[in-house]
Amino acid sequence: MNWSPVTLDSWLKRQRHALDEVRDLVGTIIQEVRTRGDEALLDYAEKFDGVRPDAVRLDEQERDAAYEKVSPELEEALTEAYTRISKFHELQRREDLWITETEPGISLGVKTTPLTRIGIYVPGGRASYPSTALMCAIPAKVAGVKEVICCTPPPVHPLTLVACDIAGVDEIYLTGGAQAIAAMAYGTKSMAPVEKIVGPGNQYVTAAKMMVRNLVEIDFPAGPSEIAIIADEDARPDFIAADILAQSEHDPLAASILVTTSIRLAKEVGEWIYRLTASAERKAIITQSLERSGYLVVKDLHEAAAASNLIAPEHLAIQVRDPFALLGKIRNAGSIFIGPYAAVACGDYASGTNHVLPTAGNARYYSGLNVAHFTKTSTIQVIDREGLDAIGNIVETIADAEGLSAHAESVRIRRSSPAE
């Protein structure tokens, strides 16, 4: 296990080149699914997941039976999480239609329309992720998406099935990895294609999403997971270490970086990491992840903010004396956790914010999953004769200057005709 200083350049390079190693294999998988459809999905399930389902699509009876295998306490926790996540995402809803008069004779507006059919990816394998089913499906349903399908690797955990049911998922398919992304993009005999694919995954899933986006929209690159923590000398090293371990247990490729003004704190965090890892249930995964992690000592919080903005982390924890003074300097982060008690796990499950977030520096230009991801907008203009006369000279002058005489004439013919 390793906890040592890292340079910003080396950390950034490692995070942003993880996908390059798998593109050739992912390309082969995508082509197989395009060619062989459901049969390829079943073959890949047997090869990668160790089980060959009877069919790609989950039977509705299996979904209903999952409740019998989930304790009432867990079902209640998922329902509580559903309520909190729904409440936050309802606040993001846009008006379906608004139109306002911007000047006499001209009214402008926006019509917001939900997508019709979207696909969510829920990882499996190393753990079950019912929370991801909630995080992906809830904003889609809040947005008004009619059909939400889910792909998840077999054998699917009953918790995931219950979460899908609570969140209103319409169809569930037993396929994971790059092959699931290909199936949602191109469609198969049993699965109609979708308009957009969302959800986190490993480097194979993420690479596949990037490779099919000429055909279908995606949310953003999401995975493997990462955290940056900005901390000063007053921060709690045990809290920081706990957040690092929580991130590390996701995946051997997960990564954590502590950006601190205190070398003493960095070393104390390392001591706590060793202590907590010793008794961790997922020690082997954590140990591998920590090889990709480390700390960066900076001279002040201004430099810390600059480093964080270059990292553009999926999760950013701020544990400093005056966090709101620092918050204004942060430009790039998927989700921000302020204060010692804002454990990243709270956002993963129950605070209400979404845990599907851009990784590998992509928070520089992507936002975390939200209701707007599942809608599209159309601008509206209502123009009467008074409005046309007000802007007609502008339109004709610019159109003629661009050599688009038909554009100009389409306005002149209206202005020269008698007003009705």
Q: What is the pLDDT of residues 132-178, one digit of tens each?
A: 999 999 999 999 999 999 999 999 999 999 999 999 999 999 999 99
Query: Does residue 315 carry a catalytic annotation?
Result: yes
Extract the runs of DSSP E, i.e. beta strands, from 303-354. Answer: 315-319, 335-338
- At 243-275, the pLDDT tens digits run 999 999 988 989 999 999 999 999 999 999 999
CB 212 within 8 A of CB 180: no
CB 206 within 8 A of CB 221: yes
Residue 224: predicted pLDDT: 80
Q: At what angle do helices 8-16 and 301-311 cross, to 10 degrees?
A: 20
Residue 407: predicted pLDDT: 98
Cα–Cα distance for residue pair 411/102, rounded to 1 Å: 20
Residue of 89, 250, 315, 355 marked catalytic = 315
Flag residues of the chain having pLDDT under 70. Answer: 16-18, 126
Domains of the chain: 8-17+224-352 (3.40.50.1980), 19-93+113-220 (3.40.50.1980), 384-416 (no CATH)
Residue 82: predicted pLDDT: 98
Query: Does residue 314 carry a catalytic annotation?
Result: yes
Residue 18: predicted pLDDT: 64
CB 247 within 8 A of CB 315: yes
Q: Which residues pair with 99 in a beta bridge?
A: 109
Spatial CB neighbours of 9, under 8 Å, sequence gap ≥ 6: none
Residue 363: predicted pLDDT: 96
Residue of 32, 226, 249, 314 marked catalytic = 314
DSSP state of 20: G
Residue 126: predicted pLDDT: 62
Residue 200: predicted pLDDT: 93
Q: Chain-centre distance of CA 255, in angstroms?
A: 17
